[in-house]
Amino acid sequence: MLNTEGNPYRSFEPATSTRRFRLGLSHIGQLVMLPALMGSLRDIAPNIKIDSLDLDELSANLLESGKLDLAIGYATDLQTGFYQQRLFTENYVCIMRPDHPRIRGALSREGYLAEAHLALDAPGTGHTRLEKPCSNRALTATSRCECHRIWALKPLSAPLTCWPSCRHGWGAPWRDKARPSALALPFSIEPYEIRQYWHERYHRDAGNMWLRKQVFEHLSNLPEVFPSI
């Protein structure tokens, strides 16, 4: 959070700073991006603190007030008054258990509709972008279970779900023998960009500038867990 003691734009020394930063992250970001970032900062800024909040409809006001330093994810409402920087482009794939009894090698429209799905209601992600193309193409599938937290997916043995292509560790919940198979969707959907956002009021804040630089260097353009299909 913005340091309110003295000049908020004074120099920032990561090696000695005890500043507390607050990040707005999607559920996936909290699961994967936050640990990756913390691991990268451990040696260069050992005494800083980082708090994580859900990326949601309150994020814009929190960024403007200085109660949130950065928001990271897919956030269409952070436009006027905000700076933004692209980290990477994300796509969707369809994942399923590796021993699926009916789907082999490719996923057809009929096969997609015939299966029960696991629905994810996750604020701060691009999941809502699936609703319109599915509706327009009559591709609304039957949902067996709906989850509001991304980490609830692994214990569930749902046969089919749409999922980001898992760039730089999105597939972390399945980094074991239960890692699912990934197939191309039976319909097209435009890719979307994951960005970091900050309010113009803190654009020149030294600590905010440093943190943005770290996020970009360590979290942008890293390889996918599920390569492009």
Q: Residues 6 or more apart from 187 whose CB is under 8 A from it? A: 109, 133, 134, 137, 139
Note whether 163 and 173 are within 8 A (CB). no
Assigned token pair, 64: 């403007």
Q: What average pLDDT does the segment 176-199 reach?
A: 79
179 three-class SS: coil
Q: What is the mean pLDDT of the chain?
A: 76
Note whether 115 and 160 are within 8 A (CB). yes
Q: How far apart are CA 25 and CA 23, in angstroms?
A: 6
Q: Given phi > 0 = left and psi -120 to 50 = alpha, else beta, which region is 124?
A: left
Note whether 90 and 221 are within 8 A (CB). no
pLDDT at 204 over 50: yes
Q: What is the predicted pLDDT for the residue at 185?
A: 82
pLDDT at 206 over 90: yes
Q: How far apart are CA 146 and CA 126, in angstroms?
A: 16
Q: What are the beta bridge partners of residue 70?
A: 23
pLDDT at 157 over 50: no
Residue-wise pLDDT for 113-133, tens only, equals: 787 777 666 655 566 666 555
pLDDT at 205 over 90: yes
User: Which residue shows structure tokens 């500038």?
Assistant: 209
pTM for the whole structure = 0.77
Q: Which residue has the higher pLDDT, 91 or 22?
A: 22
> From the CB of residue 94, how many other CB atoms can be counted at a distance below 10 Å?
22
> From the CB of residue 155, how many other CB atoms can be counted at a distance below 10 Å?
7
133 three-class SS: helix
pLDDT tier at 225 (50, 70, 90 boundaries)? Answer: low
